[in-house]
Amino acid sequence: MNASCLIVGLEGLELTPEEIALFRDLQPAGYILFSRNLKSPSQIRNLTDSLRDLTLTPPFISIDQEGGRVWRTKEFSAAPPNATTFSANASMNQVARFGALTGQLLELLGINFNFAPVLDLDHFPDQNNGLSGRCWGNDSQKVIDYAGTFNRWMRKQGVLSCGKHFPTNGLALSDPHHELPVADISLKDLLKEDLLPYTALMPELDAIMACHLNFPQLDAEFPASLSHPILTRLLRDQFGYEGLIVTDDLDMAAIVNHYGRGNDLRLAMEAGADIPIVCHKMSTIKEACKSLSSLPYRRVDESLRRIETAKLRIPTPPHFSIENWEKINRMTTELTHEIIGQDRFDPARPSQSPVEDY
């Protein structure tokens, strides 16, 4: 069984001989890059070019590039403020520039899929739930306006987008990286606020990422990322969403500690996910793919057709030049000055928080 419905992580700054052999064999749908894979713009472009050479069709080359602490290139590039800062201080024009510059930077690096924008409402800004600074606010209309503008202008640069984390991570009281949170809320109440950004922006999202939260009033057995009632009956059937559904990282403790590798991939696709994502434990992939062989052909074919359709929107990366890289970074720095003020901007420390892999 190949990995044609998976997005997978890489070990380091360049492909190892073992990875080259593995990816040529498995032909994954795509890859996800983290700070461990990023050292300089030229190194990243060499890596993404190498990834494109491994697969028969253009792969998704994805990243989490949200702003603030979740800005993977911040160690060697200008880094804009986070979504919370933009929503508090920026005009819609500045948010549009933020989206456009994000898309231009990623396109130049050969990255074609950004797991952004975050559409969670920030119900608990002081809670350690993994969302600090990453939300556009706690008002659904403001999230629609600001995240929608960012999304629209990023996509104009040829970068695919992904709204996250469906139906919401904003009600989590703990971090799914470490444990499985529970949100005891009804669908009726979710529809009042938290689901509004999805229903409003759905036509403009290339993908939607399912969260690792349990919603017992929607599905008493499985978290959203493994839930057929949530992914198929709600998102597909009730909302009519036709784009890609991806899972959050299945290596998070919320999933791997409860369901095990292999079983998690199968459950995610049975629930209706098109692309399970495995970011870190790559040694488990080949064996885990065997669990997908029991899936009905029709279920796999549905996902492959959506993947193929999305890949038709992937453009050929532009020629890389350090001049273009520097121009994008200069414009990003100017935008950052406008948002947070020259006196608060330290170019030696573009982000005031440690690198974290989300």
d(CA 130, CA 117) in angstroms, rounded, equals 15
Average pLDDT for consecutive 10-residue bins of the chain (358 residues)? Answer: 86 95 94 97 98 94 97 96 96 98 98 98 89 95 98 98 96 87 96 97 98 96 97 98 96 88 93 95 83 90 97 96 97 96 49 40
d(CA 244, CA 225) in angstroms, rounded, equals 13
**According to the model, what pLDDT value does residue 127 have?**
84
d(CA 162, CA 27) in angstroms, rounded, equals 22
**According to the model, what pLDDT value does residue 294 have?**
86
Predicted structure pTM score = 0.93
Domains of the chain plus CATH, in order, are 14-340 (3.20.20.300)
**According to the model, what pLDDT value does residue 83 have?**
97
Write down how long the chain is. Answer: 358
**According to the model, what pLDDT value does residue 2 have?**
66
**According to the model, what pLDDT value does residue 346 have?**
46
**According to the model, what pLDDT value does residue 290 have?**
84
Q: Is 238 exposed, middle or buried (0-12, 13-18, 19+ CB in 10 A)?
A: exposed
